[in-house]
Amino acid sequence: MNFGELKARVSTIIARNNAIVTAEIPNWINTAMHKVCNHKNFWFLQTLRQSTLTEDQQDYYYPADASTLYKDDSILYLYNTTDNKYKILHMIAFEEALKLYGPNDKGEPQYWIANRTSFKIFPIPDDTYNIAFLYYQFFADLVLDADENTLTVEMSDILIEGALSEGFAYLQEVNDVQLHEAKFQALLKSLVVRDTDRRLPSDIKLIPKFDVNATLHSKKRAIDNYY
């Protein structure tokens, strides 16, 4: 579905011939989308950008599309195309970096400091390095009827149920709120399970317990969260 089709579907189920309600439907859909994006670092939010670190340059800006829509959970790593090796740079606080390095210390990058629109490398790069920035990006708000994203196209039901929960709450229809919020949460749980399955080794398939707040910290934790 695109945004226009989603609005029409929600409007049909809400069944209120009311201009104020109609005007609120886009907000309800976008609110449902925000809830999904905020809930977990889902695979469809992941973006990878490659760039280079320059000798003697310590400060860098995030990719343009990440500067306003990215989530705070990011990974920065060096990659060596000669021997095909990767090295994750660890994120630390600025105060910790100052304890480790002086203002002119140079070397192979080890750490990075995250700011809202830029990041700082420690120590100062002593050469040119290939770097990759892996981050999770919020979807932009749906505005035009033709607007689409992974959720609208592949998982439209979760946006519809989330929007209906918001809408019936606005209308103070308690029973309908409970019904559609339960459906929204069930779809969200299924999405978490689907995402977790993608991160497990391909030869492991487990039957999930639904815990929408669970995070896969280790194989043991994963198994503990499953029947």
Predicted confidence at residue 222, as pLDDT, reads 45
Domain boundary residue, one of 109, 137, 165: 137
The predicted structure's pLDDT at residue 226: 42
**190: left (phi > 0), else alpha (psi -120 to 50), else beta?**
alpha
* 152-179: pLDDT as tens digits: 999 999 999 999 999 999 999 999 999 9
pLDDT of residue 96: 94
What local confidence, expressed as pLDDT, does residue 202 receive?
Answer: 57
pLDDT at 114: 86
Q: Is there a single domain that holds both residue 101 and residue 150?
A: no
Burial class (CB in 10 A: 0-12, 13-18, 19+), 77: middle
Split into its structural domains, the chain has a count of: 2
Contact, 62 vs 113, CB < 8 A?
no
pLDDT at 21 over 60: yes
Q: Of the candidates 163, 137, 164, 161, which has an alpha carbon nearest to the alpha carbon of residue 149?
A: 137
My answer on whether 206 and 161 are in the same domain is yes
The verdict on 71 and 37 lying in the same domain is no
What pTM was estimated for this model as a whole? 0.75
Same domain, 149 and 38: yes
Looking at 80, 106, 137, which one is the last position of a domain?
137
4: its two tokens: 């226009």
Q: Which of 83, 109, 137 is the last residue of a domain?
A: 137
Residues 87 and 149 in one domain: no
pLDDT in tens, 101-117: 999 999 999 999 988 77
Question: Same structural domain for residues 160 and 105?
Answer: no
Please tell me whether residues 125 and 95 are part of one structural domain.
yes
Spatial neighbors of 176 by CB under 8 A, at least 6 apart, are 164, 168
Q: Which residue segment(s) compose the domain that 218 sits in?
A: 3-42+141-224
Contact present, 7 and 152 (Cβ < 8 Å)? no
Cβ atoms of residues 163 and 29 within 8 Å: yes
* 151 in the same domain as 176: yes
Best CA proximity match to 189, nearest among 7, 10, 36, 38: 36
